[in-house]
Structures are given as structure tokens and as C-alpha cells.
């Protein structure tokens, strides 16, 4: 059985493809954040991050302008997230009573 020669171009292509693997977490969970802390979502694109926040068990409980309060009933975690120019510009964890 003959094996094809690996050329420099082929090696470069394989190396580039290896960098395309993305860690998206386990079992559909986002790679950032946790059920008790969303602060790592700061700077994320709002449209994409919203599904990740919901996957962590949070529900939007209140909205005022561009600010939304998210609550996780399982962990009693509360987050206030402000959106600016399509990104989460400020993510602040708050006491559960603030939600």
C-alpha cells in the first residue's frame, strides 16, 4: 500500500485545520460562565451569548432599556447585563434579592 507524500503545503493545511477546533464546553454547555457567575460573558456578542446564558439555567426576569436582569433559580444567582453596540458591555453579579 502506497502512502501519499506529505508536502509542505499539505502540512500547512493540516496545521491550519487543527486550529479550527473550537471548545464549546460539554454536553451543549458554553465554554464560559457557570451557573453561579456570568462575568466571563462581558464583551460577548449578545445574540450568541444569550443562548449560552439560558443553557446555564438563567432566565431573563426584568428588562429596563438595554439592561436585563438574569436569575438562576437553582443557584439563586442574579446577574445584571447591559448591552452596547450588540455586545455585553457590563456584566455584574448581584445578590439574589436584586432579581
Task: Please write the tens of the pLDDT for every residue from 43-77.
Answer: 999 988 999 999 999 999 999 999 999 999 999 99
Record the cell numbers describing residue 94, joined without a space.
Answer: 448581584
HEC letters along the chain: CCCCCCCHHHHHHHHHHHCCCCCCCCCCCCCCCECCECHHHCCCEHHHHHHHHHHCCEEEEEEECCEEEEEECCCCEEEEEEEECCEEEEEEEECHHHC
pLDDT above 60: residue 92: yes
87-94: strand order across its sheet: 58-64, 67-72, 77-84, 87-94
Record the cell numbers describing residue 41, joined without a space.
Answer: 460573558
Looking up cell 445578590, which residue turns up?
Answer: 95
pLDDT above 90: residue 12: no
Task: Please write the tens of the pLDDT for every residue from 17-31.
Answer: 344 333 444 455 655
For position 28, what pLDDT does the model report? Answer: 59
pLDDT above 80: residue 13: no
For position 33, what pLDDT does the model report? Answer: 72
Residue-range domain boundaries for the chain: 33-98
Mean pLDDT value of segment 75-98: 95
pTM over 0.75: no
Amino acid at each position: 500500500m502506497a502512502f501519499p507524500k506529505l508536502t509542505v503545503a499539505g502540512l500547512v493545511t493540516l496545521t491550519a485545520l487543527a486550529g479550527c477546533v473550537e471548545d464549546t464546553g460539554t454536553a451543549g454547555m458554553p465554554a464560559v460562565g457557570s451557573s453561579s457567575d456570568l462575568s466571563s460573558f462581558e464583551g460577548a456578542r449578545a445574540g450568541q451569548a444569550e443562548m449560552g446564558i439560558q443553557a446555564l439555567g438563567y432566565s431573563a426576569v426584568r428588562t429596563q432599556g438595554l439592561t436585563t436582569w438574569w436569575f438562576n433559580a437553582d443557584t439563586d444567582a442574579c446577574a445584571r447585563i447591559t448591552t452596547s453596540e450588540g455586545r455585553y458591555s457590563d456584566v455584574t453579579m448581584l445578590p439574589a434579592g436584586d432579581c
